Amino acid sequence: MNTMSPFISDVHGNRSASPFIPNMQGALIGYLVTALTLAFFGAVLNVLLLAALTVHQPLRETSGRALLIHCILMDFYITTIGVPIVSITLFLGPTHILPRYFCKYQPIYIYMPAAVGVLASSLLAIHRLIATVWPQTFAAVSNSRVITALIVLPWIVAGSTTIFPTVLNIGPEFVPSNNMGGCEFARAPESAFDMVSAVLDFIVPTIVMGMCYGIVLVKTYRAVRINRGNRTRQRRFEISRTLFLSFLWHTVCIYPTLVVVTCFPETLVKNPYFYLAVSWLPNSFSFVNPIFFLASSRMFQDGIKEFLQCHWYRAAPVHPALDEAGDEMSMVGVGCSWKQIRRRSCPTP
């Protein structure tokens, strides 16, 4: 299964030339322009999110900041590399001759980053669940070694379902499409590898995300209702709400496509416009997802504003410092340089 190019040929791998390609050039041009335009703005928004996480002190103090940066970097890769490749090859059509091995290694440079992003998001969800439900043990999963392991683990899992099967020719084969252009998934009827890959890389992580973010959202919401004036609890609820909305958008983008591709592949061949819609939906996740962060999180809004106005460079911001338990301790940034704040050497009043 390839989330960036959802067409699946029939179980015997037979592909016939599509007669409707010449009659839908206008739709293909519209698809290409829309996909590339949104991918460009999505890349810019992801860069702004990374900048906000770097310069805005409340975001810098957020638990799991490195894991969140990892997820955003995966979205950035998909918007700058994955979406343009898939969109352009789809626009070129089935008559365009693709480079040798272009389709063979597409699982590595298209499918694997998408899978890494989903797996990384599920680990971020687990990390936030531990911080919310078991704060007394949170320090044990917040040291640099554990964070590094949580960043590397998705690459190991996704790599085991993409790199080795692709290089050793033991997994499903991606071949040039004679239907719509680009590459398509030629599924072997005797192999269940594609289903195992989908379960490990997408279905299980999505279930984990839903359970974790649901619990975290409910618990942080209750904490905010008990003490509405606590800024730390409000920030935790804000981040939890943003991540939960991102999870909902993830399910909307991935699972309708997964169901159609798995259960009704012949519909994609018969209706090319439906094919374009199904292709666009998973591609849209990485450049629509940043909008949820901007629309639902005041911290990201303030962080991007701080970055664009260069406040982080000209003067140190004034923000509350947090102790290990996440409670406000004192105000930092009063008369201090940016380096002092970064080194935690700023005197407190």
pLDDT band at 81 (very low <50, low <70, confident <90, very high): very high
Long-range contacts for 69-74 (Cβ within 8 Å, ≥24 apart)? Answer: 70/120, 70/124, 70/151, 71/117, 71/120, 71/121, 71/124, 72/46, 72/290, 73/46, 74/113, 74/114, 74/116, 74/117, 74/120, 74/286
The residue assigned the tokens 């399910």 is 251
pLDDT computed for residue 323 by the predictor: 40
Say what the pTM is.
Answer: 0.76
More confident residue, 143 or 152: 152
Q: What does the pLDDT look like over 160-182, one tens digit per residue?
A: 888 877 887 776 677 887 777 78
Q: What does the pLDDT look like over 306-330, one tens digit per residue?
A: 888 876 565 544 444 444 344 333 3
pLDDT computed for residue 193 by the predictor: 64
Whether 297 has a pLDDT exceeding 70, the answer reads yes
Average pLDDT over residues 147-154: 94
Encoded amino acid at 267, one letter: T
Within 8 A by CB and 6+ apart from 283, the residues are 4, 35, 39, 82, 83, 86, 87
Q: What does the pLDDT look like over 233-274, one tens digit per residue?
A: 787 788 888 888 888 888 888 788 777 776 776 777 677 778
pLDDT computed for residue 292 by the predictor: 78
pLDDT computed for residue 314 by the predictor: 55
Give the H or E element holding residue 269: helix 265-270
Taking the alpha carbons at both ends of the chain, their separation in whole angstroms is 57
Whether 6 has a pLDDT exceeding 90, the answer reads no
The residue assigned the tokens 């829309």 is 34
The DSSP letter of residue 271 is -
More confident residue, 39 or 227: 39
Radius of gyration, alpha carbons of the chain: 22
pLDDT computed for residue 211 by the predictor: 92
pLDDT band at 191 (very low <50, low <70, confident <90, very high): low
Instruction: Provide the mean pLDDT of the chain.
Output: 76
pLDDT band at 154 (very low <50, low <70, confident <90, very high): very high
pLDDT computed for residue 27 by the predictor: 82
Whether 103 has a pLDDT exceeding 70, the answer reads yes
